[in-house]
Amino acid sequence: MIHNKLLQWFDQNKRDLPWRHGRNPYRVWVSEIMLQQTQVKTVIPYFQNWMKKYPTLKSLKDAEYDDVIKMWEGLGYYSRCKNMYKTSQLVNSSLPNNYQDLIKLPGIGDYTAKTILSIAFEQPFVGVDTNLERVGYRILGLKSKTKRNHNRVVKFLEENQNKNRPGDYNEALMDLGSSLCSSQTTVCNECPLTKECKAYASLSPTSYPKNKISKKIPEYNIAISLIKHENKFLITKRSNTKFLAGLWEFPGGKIEKSETPRDAIIREVKEETNLDILNPIYLGNVKHKYSHFGVNISLFISFPKSIKKLKIKQEYKLISLKDIYNYPLPKANHKMLDILKKLD
């Protein structure tokens, strides 16, 4: 059994992380959602600020959604925040302590449910994320990432679990995978499991498992305009059904193949706001990558003399530059504001 060596190593080397100070279900849940596809160092300040403002599940439940999404601003994958807020509205004073009920809640999948149950409720579950999976593949000497091999890894990790310390066992594997056994680097001489590890015996542990060739993400050319009228800027709220749901942004959209950026922004502003902007001023260019695509933004500013024709389907506001920062914006929009500040 690997758990004795693993837990002995963990007791001496575990990371001091803020969500490990008091393993209540709410803190574990918030940390696990924040950590999805996001680095620990990025999550730490967000988690700390979140807990100051929403220290309990009830405080999150009683909060306004716009305030909650503002707290999440910059962390990305905004559907995670939306689902957390939905969950807070569905449960009472605490999260369920059983798998069947947890898995039904928005944004809680198999891994998150099992991790919450093991760490917060000390139940014998193993939540297998990419770190745990990689450690398992290397110990078993499996190269091909197949469903069959994944199931072998899960079975192995479950069979080797310490039933008395299920939470520590999960966190020990997480720490091992992130510190000594990462995807690109291994520190095998400090690993407690080298004797059991077939990848170590091969003298090429980072070749286990074989990484899939990542697809090149598409990049879209976008035209955006800051619309300024009487020292106020126009921002619109994205629909709750769209990517980056609930965030605020500046008008604009994709540049068609036959268009110049200037032609595109005149058309987009007309379609979105019913305003005619005849001479948009080019400010600069912004590039930003989201999880599945990138954007190359041509940024303009427009000064319509009148906004009497303004007609927008979604919620909108005309606010000062200072007040814009009180609203949750996509990261790309913050980059645009950085350009504007440099020009002031």
User: Residue 150: is its pLDDT beyond 90?
Assistant: yes
Q: What is the pLDDT of residue 278?
A: 84
d(CA 169, CA 218): 40
| C-alpha closest to that of 211 among 276, 143, 158 | 143
Q: How do beta strands 248-249 and 232-237 pair?
A: antiparallel
pLDDT in tens, 223-269: 999 999 999 999 999 987 778 888 999 999 999 999 999 999 999 99
Q: What is the pLDDT of residues 169-196, one digit of tens each?
A: 999 999 999 999 999 999 999 999 999 9
The CATH code belonging to domain 3-207 is 1.10.340.30
As a dihedral over the C-alpha atoms of residue 207, residue 208, residue 213, residue 216, rounded to 10 degrees, the angle is -90
Point out the catalytic residue in the list 32, 171, 268, 272.
32
Tokens, residue 331: 């990261």
Question: Count of CB atoms within 10 A of residue 214's CB?
Answer: 6
Q: What angle do CA 188, 146, 78 make, to 5 degrees?
A: 85
Delimit the domains of the chain by residue range.
3-207, 219-343
- The Cα angle at residue 129 between residues 108 and 125, in degrees rounded to 5: 70
Q: 344 falls in which pLDDT band (50, 70, 90)?
A: low
What pLDDT score was predicted for residue 220?
Answer: 95
The strand pairing partners of 302, in sequence order, are: 227
**Cβ contacts of 236 within 8 Å, gap of 6 or more:** 248, 249, 250, 251, 272, 312, 314, 315, 316
Write out pLDDT tens, residues 263-295. 999 999 999 999 999 899 999 999 998 878 999
CATH code: domain 219-343 is 3.90.79.10
User: 97-124: per-residue pLDDT in tens?
Assistant: 999 999 999 999 999 999 999 999 999 9
Query: Over the chain, what is the mean pLDDT?
Result: 93
Tokens 């606010």, located at residue: 319
Known catalytic membership, residue 268:
no
> Same fold for the domain at 3-207 and the one at 219-343?
no
pTM of the predicted structure, to 2 decimals: 0.84
Statement: residue 205 has pLDDT above 70: yes
3-state secondary structure labels for all residues of 24-74: CHHHHHHHHHHHCCCCHHHHHHHHHHHHHHCCCHHHHHCCCHHHHHHHHCC
Structure-token pair, residue 24: 């209540």
pLDDT (0 to 100) of residue 337? 87
147-159 vs 130-140: helix axis angle to the nearest 10? 90
